[in-house]
Structure 1
Amino acid sequence: MSSGERRNPVRAAGCVLWRPALSGHGIEIALVHRPKYDDWSHPKGKRKRNESAEACALREILEETGQTCSLGARLPTVRYTVDGRPKEVEYWAARALGGTFTPNREVDRLVWLPPTAARLRLTQSRDRDLLNALTATTAG
């Protein structure tokens, strides 16, 4: 067991954020671009001290996308290692309720894409797995 595996994991939360497609057919998925990593992912972030995973997910969605949302079905928890330290991210499906995106240092772009296009844009396979879990629970 490495020293990273013995350490407490970094705890985080996020959502696969969706909305009814503007076309009226199906859904669209929100993806964020993080310039630090030059990747496309679902919005997520680290939990603050004594913050519940649900509160963190709602806060991170608002901070990274400008959207308020309603949490839906629980999605799989994702576990991976970052800089030798384990990370555990709890996810939910979340319906966007509205808001305005403002680029910032952490997230410089937001796109809304149909699930098929979102699957192609996502950088990490673990994020594609989350999208698959969402589409299995949502009419999309």
Structure 2
Amino acid sequence: MTSDSEHPVLAAGCVLWRRSPVDGGLEICLVHRPKYDDWSHPKGHLKRDEEQLAAALREVEEETGYRAAPGAPLSQTHYEVNGRPKQVSYWAAEATSGAFTPNDEVDLILWLPPTAARERLTQPRDKDLVDELLALPQR
């Protein structure tokens, strides 16, 4: 019998992007979580029997207020939280519609050009996802 500590916590999220309404340049959405006082990409845990991509898009909408069109899969990140392994699957996703409303989980979002987004992100593993998005063929 395996214990819970051996099974990774599964989560999914997106590197959410759009074209700037000002100059048409690429902007990436970052979320601020007051519980951790960090800046990250929108992500969250999978619900029971939920597909990873469905979870990623649900979490984007819950955390940012934006619906998104999924694009290419990006890397998975692996790290430990409270002594348990966590695995987060990511996709590139273009924001299609919506508006942000602060909530208990996310109190702020920022739309930033890629260089500024890399600088603002708290975790180095999240910075690598920006580089992956930029390396994709035409977005």
In structure 2, the partner of 1:30 is 29
Backbone CA RMSD of aligned residues: 1.8
**Structure 2 unaligned spans of 5+:** none
Distance 2:138 2:64 in 1: 22
Query: What is the CA deviation profile of residues 21-64 of structure 1, one whole-angstrom value per residue up to 9, with x for unaligned ones?
Result: 22334200000000000000000000000000011001000000
**Aligned AA for 2:116?**
A
Question: Which stretch shows the higher mean deviation, 75-84 or 3-12?
Answer: 3-12
% identical equivalent positions: 59
Structure 1 residues 4 and 28 mapped into 2: Cα distance closer, same or farther (>3 Å)? farther
3-state SS of paired residue (2:85): strand
Does the residue aligned with 1:119 lie in a helix, a strand or coil? helix
Name 1:83's counterpart in structure 2. Answer: 82
Cα distance in 1 for residues equivalent to 2:4 and 2:50: 23
Where has structure 1 moved over 6 Å in runs of 4 or more? none
In the TM superposition, what whole-angstrom CA distance separates every residue of 1:112-140 from its partner, at most 9, and x where no partner exists? 00001101000000000011100111558
Corresponding position of 1:70: 69
Residues 22 and 77 of structure 1: CA distance in aligned 2, closer, same or farther (over 3 Å):
same
Could you state the TM-score of these two structures normalised by the residue count of structure 2? Answer: 0.94
Q: Which residue of 1 aligns with 2:14?
A: 15
Q: Distance in 2 between matches of 1:126 and 1:82?
A: 14
Count of aligned positions: 138
Do 2:5 and 2:83's aligned partners in 1 also have CA atoms closer than 8 Å? no
